[in-house]
Amino acid sequence: MEEETKTMESKPSFIRKAAGGCRRGFCGLRAFLNKPFFRYKLVQVYLLSFFTTYIVEGLSHYRHLPQLLHVVKHPLIFLTNMLIVSLLFIPPILFRRKAFFYTLSFILWLTVGVVDFIVLHNRVTPFNANDFKMLNDALNVIVHYFKFYEIAAVIILIVLGVTGLVMAFLKFPKTKNPVNLKKTGVLALVLFLAHLGLVLGSVKVGIMKRTFPNLANAYQDYGLPYCFACSIVDKGIKKPSGYSKGSVREVIETLPSPTPVVTETNEENPNIIFIQLESFFDPKRIRDIKFEEDPIPNFTHLYNHYCSGLLTVPSISAGTANTEFEVLTGMNMADFGSGEYPYRTILQSSTCENLAFVLKPLGYACHAIHNNTATFYGRNVVFSNLGFDTFDSIETMSNVEMNALGWAKDKVLYREINAALNSTLGKDFIFTVSVQGHGKYPDEEILDASIPLTKLSDAYDDSTIYGLRYYTTQLNEMDAFIGSLVANLSERNEKTVLVLYGDHLPGFDFEPEDLTSGTLLQTEYVIWTNFETEVVHKDLYSYQLAAYVQDLIGLHEGLIPRLHQSHFVDEEETEEKYLEDLRVLSYDMLYGNQYCWEGVNPYSPTVLTYGFYRPDPTSMHAVYDSANDTYYLTVYGTDFTPYSYIFINGERYKDTIYVSDTELFLPRITLNDRDAVSVGVWNDGNLYRTSPAIRFRMEEYQ
526-556 pLDDT, tens digit per residue, is 999 999 888 999 999 999 999 999 999 999 9
Residue 60 CB partners (closer than 8 Å, separation 6+): 113, 116, 117, 120, 126, 219, 220, 223, 224
Sheet holding 630-638, edge to edge: 616-625, 630-638, 663-669, 657-660
Given CA atoms 361, 363, 364, 365 in this order, what sign does their dihedral have? positive
Sheet holding 522-529, edge to edge: 540-541, 307-312, 522-529, 496-502, 271-277, 428-433, 365-370, 390-392, 609-610
pLDDT given at position 6: 46
Give the C-alpha distances (Å, rounded to integers) separating 404 from 412, 465, 562: 16, 17, 43
Residue 232 CB partners (closer than 8 Å, separation 6+): 129
What is the number of other CB atoms lying within 10 angstroms of the CB of residue 349? Answer: 9
Given CA atoms 477, 483, 487, 493 in this order, what sign does their dihedral have? positive
Instruction: With beta carbons less than 8 A apart as the criterion, state whether 645 and 680 touch.
Output: yes
C-alpha span between 259 and 676 (Å, rounded) = 51
Per DSSP, what are the bridge partners of residue 644? 681
What is the number of other CB atoms lying within 10 angstroms of the CB of residue 240? Answer: 19
Instruction: With beta carbons less than 8 A apart as the criterion, state whether 430 and 369 touch.
Output: yes
DSSP structure string for 256-305: PPPPPSS-GGGGGPPEEEEEEETT---GGGBTTEEESS-S-HHHHHHHHH
What is the number of other CB atoms lying within 10 angstroms of the CB of residue 28? Answer: 10
- Beta strands (DSSP E) in 102-248 are none
State the DSSP H helix or E strand holding residue 307, giving kind and residue range, or none if neither: strand 307-312
Q: CA end-to-end span of the chain, whole Å?
A: 120
Q: Give how far the C-alpha of residue 118 lies from the chain's centroid of Cα atoms, to the nearest Å.
A: 17
Residues in the chain: 702
- Beta strands (DSSP E) in 158-252 are none
Antiparallel, parallel or unpaired: β 616-625 and 676-683? unpaired
Q: Helix 75-86 crosses helix 36-60 at what angle (to 10 degrees)?
A: 120
pLDDT given at position 5: 46
State the DSSP H helix or E strand holding residue 75, giving kind and residue range, or none if neither: helix 75-86
C-alpha span between 245 and 53 (Å, rounded) = 45
Q: Indicate the class that CATH gives domain 245-288+301-439+494-609.
A: alpha beta
Instruction: With beta carbons less than 8 A apart as the criterion, state whether 652 and 689 touch.
Output: no
State the DSSP H helix or E strand holding residue 678, giving kind and residue range, or none if neither: strand 676-683
Q: Give how far the C-alpha of residue 662 lies from the chain's centroid of Cα atoms, to the nearest Å.
A: 36
pLDDT given at position 184: 85
Instruction: With beta carbons less than 8 A apart as the criterion, state whether 353 and 558 touch.
Output: yes
Alpha helices in 454-502 (DSSP H): 462-491
Backbone phi and psi for residue 618, each to the nearest 5 degrees, phi listed first: -105, -25
Render the burial of 383-396: b for 16+ CB within 10 Å, e for the rest.
bbbbbbbbbbbbbb
The helix/strand/coil state of 201 is helix
Q: Mean pLDDT of residues grouped by 10 in the chain (702 residues)?
A: 46 53 50 51 86 88 62 85 93 86 89 84 71 63 63 77 78 76 86 92 87 73 88 87 94 84 63 97 94 94 97 89 97 90 93 96 96 93 97 96 93 97 95 94 79 83 89 96 97 95 92 92 97 92 97 94 90 84 97 95 96 95 89 95 96 96 95 94 94 89 64
Q: Residue 377: left if φ>0, alpha if ψ -120 to 50, beta else—which one? A: left
| Domain parsing of the chain, residue ranges | 21-233, 245-288+301-439+494-609, 614-700
The helix/strand/coil state of 674 is coil
pLDDT given at position 156: 82
Q: How many helices and strands in the chain, by DSSP H and E? A: 21, 20
pLDDT given at position 141: 57
Amino acid at 533: T
State the DSSP H helix or E strand holding residue 582, giving kind and residue range, or none if neither: helix 575-590
pTM assigned to the model: 0.84
Residue 145 CB partners (closer than 8 Å, separation 6+): 122, 439, 440
Q: Of 548, 593, 496, nearest to 246 (Cα)?
A: 593
What is the number of other CB atoms lying within 10 angstroms of the CB of residue 40? Answer: 11
Q: Of 84, 431, 71, nearest to 271 (Cα)?
A: 431
Per DSSP, what are the bridge partners of residue 676? 695
Q: Before 245, cis peptide (omega within 30)? A: no
The helix/strand/coil state of 624 is strand
C-alpha span between 105 and 390 (Å, rounded) = 48
Render the burial of 214-231: b for 16+ CB within 10 Å, e for the rest.
bbbebbbebbbbbbbbbb
Per DSSP, what are the bridge partners of residue 269? none
C-alpha span between 549 and 564 (Å, rounded) = 11
CATH architecture of the domain 614-700 equals Sandwich (2.60)
